[in-house]
Structure formats: structure tokens, C-alpha cells
Structure 1
């Protein structure tokens, strides 16, 4: 397997910015650079890979605030999320200000992604799944070779994403998880937007919101 990955918590909200790179070509991607761009670039330089693309799972400021700066400084382009999140990505600064967090920039010029799309870097390809519920344009990136998914704020260890934001919906979120993520397999490791990694199998067993036992009681 020629895919490697590491997590860098960024912003005061400790959002999981994920670096993935092809160890054969040393080309890689940065997923959800919410801020602390210098920290991200220092980590990339230490690993020694070239940033091929900047990827976004959804539009919230703690996931996208540093995307424009990172793309400019690495001379690359931004891909994602789905265009249903444009009402959020166009107001990143305002979103951060609500939490007293500055320094981010509104996202523009990005390439929208859709269910069934793929993004490639080096010899690696990530599949794109549209997973609304937390936000309407949320997407997930998945490597079948590595059995690794970056799920943004859809799913967490022992929890799920909030659905009280504009255009969020709990039933839609549950459908995204059970219809898009669970079929990928119990052995898939996922990186959430915040907190520790887990596996889909562990969440099906223990998650009180979308675990198999919990869903039987709905």
C-alpha cells in the first residue's frame, strides 16, 4: 500500500486536518485546512511531499478557513465540497466571527465535487460520496486501497455530526451514514473532523445514534 496519512489538529476547535500522500510519487493532498497554515506547511515540508490538491469535506469555517491561503502558497487548486454548501463557503469569515475566531477567508474558485466523482494524486485515488445531513453539501473522501475514509463532521467515535445548523437534518444524516458509509465495510478506519479515529465496525457496534442496535429501536 502506497498511501500514508497523518492528522494535524488546527484552529482552537481542534479540527482534524488530514494529510494524505502517495509514498511512491510523494504527491499528496491536504483535507480540511481550517487554519494554522504555517503549521500545516511545516508538517508537509517535514514529510517531504508535494501538495497536489486541497480538498474540503464541507463549508464550515474550522474546516475551510485556511484553504485559500494554502492553495495560493502551494500553487494548487481547491476541490470540494458539493455546491449545496456554497452558502457556507462564501461566508467563512462571518462564520468564524460568530465563534470569535478570525484569520479565515471566504472560499472561491473551488471545484465542486459530486457523488461518484474521484480525486487523484500520485498513484492514489479517492472516491467521493455526497453525505448531506450535517450540511447539505457535505462529502466524504474514501480510499478503497487503504480502507481509509475522511468523513468530516458526518460521524465521530461514539457520536454523529450536529444537525442544528442551517439546512441540517438528522434523518438525512442517518441515511448518509447507513446507506453510504456502512456498505464500505466494517474494517474501514475513518478520520472524523474532530477527535479520535475509529472504524465503521466499531461504530455499528457501539454508536448510540447510528449503531445497529440503536437503529433497531427507531
Structure 2
């Protein structure tokens, strides 16, 4: 069983193609909706999915979904796809500001975010492909852009109260052409995981290079299964 955790502005439907591919290989997928107003509520939604599994599942966490994944219990392995792996007390804003100060380069994702009403933001559709789907086929990028939805404007200040790294194995996939989570930030996060890989993809390899993601999931699933 695999639990797929989407990132900010995204939703479970973004995993539809990957879910179909995995199902055809015999791996069932649950993709809980993390459209909640706080990190504890998002963790609770994901934990409910984990707890519904007969055995500890794999978790695939994309982008901000990594912040949720790191607070889960009862998981046998986390695969981080360009995701946030924060320490307690550390925020996404903290690491982005440090990267800007160290490199002197602006953050590409910040330029794509537009403020909206009632404490929410959205992604400018014209900037979405550049930020999230730069190496996707145009039709896939367009479909994914249409699925984007508003996100709370305070998520940059969210921080985990605990992390599961000491008890849960993890693999980090650094996306070298990412324009949403800068590669130098991902290097920091990758160093906090048990295994690190680098792929020449943009932010969403589950859309642009699904076979890479599928092969990684199958490798980890097979390795863990053979040990039990």
C-alpha cells in the first residue's frame, strides 16, 4: 500500500496517472485530501489513511506534503519528491529566506504566487508551468494547472512539532531543474534523509517522468517486503 501526499495548491487528482500505473502493478494507493486549515489537521487526515492500512504503508510525499509525512507514525518508508523536510521550529520561510540571502537570487515560486481573498493565495496560471511543470508535456502541464486550487497564505510559517526521521527510513529525490523548491534547499533536506537521489527533472516528476517514480516505488517496496 502507498499513501500519496500532495503539495501546496495541489490535490489528490494530480496523482491520478501515477495511481493508475501503480494499481496496474499491484500496488494500491490512497491519496488523502490535505486541504485543511492547519498542519495538525493535515497530519490527522494523512494519519487516518495510514491507520486504515492493514500493514505499515509506504508514503510518497511531494513538496509541502513532506511536512505532513514527517509527522506520521506507523509508516515503513517515506519517499520525498522535492519535498520539505523541516526541523521542529523551522519554517519554509526560514529556508527560503536563507537561500535568497546566500545566493542573492530571487525565488522563482514567490513570483508565481498571487494573494487572494480570505487569507488564501493562488498560483498565476501563466507561471504555473514554469514553477511546477517545466518538463511536462504541454497537455499534462495544462491539465495539472487547471487542477490547482487556493492555498492558505500562512503555510510558510508552519513548523512540525515532532519528526519521525529516527524511526522511519526515508529516500529523498532531489529534482535538479526544480523552480519551485530550489535545488540548494533540497540539498539541505536530502542530507536529513537516509538515502538521496538526484534526477534531472523539474518539480513534478510524478507527472513528467512517472516511470522513474514508479521504478523507485517498486524498488523500495520490493526491498522492504523481502526483509519482512
Q: TM-score range by the shorter chain?
A: 0.3 to 0.5
TM-score (norm 1): 0.32
Higher RCO by CA contacts (8 Å cutoff, separation 6 or greater): 2
Structure that is richer in helix per residue: 2
TM-score (norm 2): 0.31
